[in-house]
Structure formats: structure tokens, C-alpha cells
Chains A and B, each alone.
Chain A
């Protein structure tokens, strides 16, 4: 990844035009030809530097639901519980964290009702209490990571 790749990633994190020739427009902005931009973007996707070039949807506006949940997992059962929880397709991310509540995961479901159903199913399968912490308010953040 050279400086131009970094500039490209940072620029394309700010959004992508919806018009006839969007790559041409971005290329002009970066001082590249459209072919150079397409070539670089393809290479970054092919080598795994970028995994997604596309949309991020608003789950709740699409009718779906999201929540953050946490579980206190006994150390000796950690791997087994990880496997059980990750086997649920509703689990979008799962992180081990440094706290008594040591497993934190995000559930994403097609409907709000499925959140509670999934939590109950996870509790039943693991025998552990799942703390459900749905968001009450989201404070707007302009997410951008410098490459």
C-alpha cells in the first residue's frame, strides 16, 4: 500500500458518488485516470487490504434489529461457549474483552422480535445469562480511519 493507495482509501471512506461515471469523478479529484483508479481499487480488493466496497445499510430502517450483548463466561468453558455462540448466524461480531463480562457480541436480526428469541436460545444452549444492552441513543460520529 503506497501513499496513493492510502489517499484513495481515505477518500473513498468519505463516500462514493451516485452518477453516470463515479470512478471518473473520483479519479479526477485524485489526479488519476479512471483506469488507474479502477486498477488500484481492484488490486486492493484482490489482495485483501479492502474487503468491502459498497453500501452499509441502516439496520433499523430496513426493518431489522441490532443489539449488544455480554456474557460472563467461566474461563474453562471459554472455547466451547465461543463456538456455541458463534454458531448462531445472528451473531455479527464477537469479541473477548478484558473484564468479568468477558464476551461481547453484536446480534443482528431481521426483525426486532428475533433478538429476544436468539438471546433465549443462546441462554438455553450455554446455560449462561446473556445481558442484553440495546442502544437507547446513538451519538453521531463521523467514522473515518486514516489508512
Chain B
């Protein structure tokens, strides 16, 4: 369980780190902690994985990554670990998950590819399929057409700022 002081820190930095010479000192000043304590606590939270990443969190669209494909396959359960592990090695793959099949939706392996244009993304998918031996499995490519909502950090008292889905 998180200590109250850890929570206080996570809430303090959720909207962003101060852009100044001694940011952890500044955070400490706002949380009534020493710079050393802030550094010690944040280092531990990072090591424990509660802070997944620290630094620049980019929004794809802002960097010109407008083609966003969700590619799904229906692969045998006994191969999914190996295939998921292989797919996630490709630098253009931004997320890779196993999810449950649904009635009318037989797919269980998902990956996201964010690219600057659709043609490039389609080529990357071809490359992925060939390299991982995915050609025999049912596949669907769902390009995003519109992005309605993309919120960044929302940490309502005890709520985490979340990773991109």
C-alpha cells in the first residue's frame, strides 16, 4: 500500500515536473519535504514500477503520427505468448496485449501501430505478419477515424494518471 507521503508526492507531480534548475527541491517545498526525501521517494516509486515512465509523454498526433491502426488476430492460445513476445519487439509497435475473445469477436491478440501515414502502417503490418508467421490467422485492421477524447493525467485525489490505452 502507498504511504500518505508517497500519494502526496504523486498528486503533486501528476500535472508535470517543475521546469527549473532544482525541480525536486521545488516539489519538496510544496510538499513540505526535503529535496533528498523527494529524490529518495520518487526513486523508489520508479523502481517499484508505480511510476512507469518519467519524462516527455508525447501525444501521437502532435508529432504527426496520424495513422493509428489497431491490428487484431485470432491465434491459438498455446502460441499467443510466443507471438505476443515477437510482435512487441518491432520498434513501430506501440502496444501489444492479449485480451479475451467475445461472442462475435474471436480475436485475442492486439497490437497498436502509430505511423505518419496509412501506407507506411500497412507496409509495417505486412512486414510484421511475414516475420512473425501470422498469415494463417484471422486478422482485422481497425484504423482510427476520429479521436474524440484523449485526456492526459487525471488524478482525482487517489486516482492515477494513466497510460495511453
**Chain B contact residues (Cβ within 8 angstroms of A): what range?**
35 or more
Q: Which of A20, A24, A53, A139 contacts B57 (CB 8 A)?
A: A53
Q: What's the nearest-Cβ distance from chain A to residue B99, in Å? A: 4
Contact of A61 with B17 in the complex, beta carbons under 8 Å: no
Q: Please name the residue on chain B nearest to A86 by beta carbon.
A: B149
Chain B residues touching A, majority SS? mixed
In the complex, per-residue mask of B16-37: 1 if CB is within 8 Å of any chain A CB, else 0: 1101111111000000000100
B142 at the interface (CB under 8 A from A): yes
Count of A interface residues, CB-CB < 8 Å: 71
Known contacts being A59-B160, A68-B165, A99-B140, is A53 close to B153, with CB within 8 Å? no
Contact of A131 with B53 in the complex, beta carbons under 8 Å: no
A101 at the interface (CB under 8 A from B): yes
Could you tell me which B residues sit within 8 Å of A by CB distance?
2, 10, 13-17, 19-25, 35, 39, 42-43, 46, 48-60, 62-63, 65, 68, 70, 80-81, 84-85, 87-88, 91, 93-100, 102, 105, 110, 114, 140, 142-156, 158-165
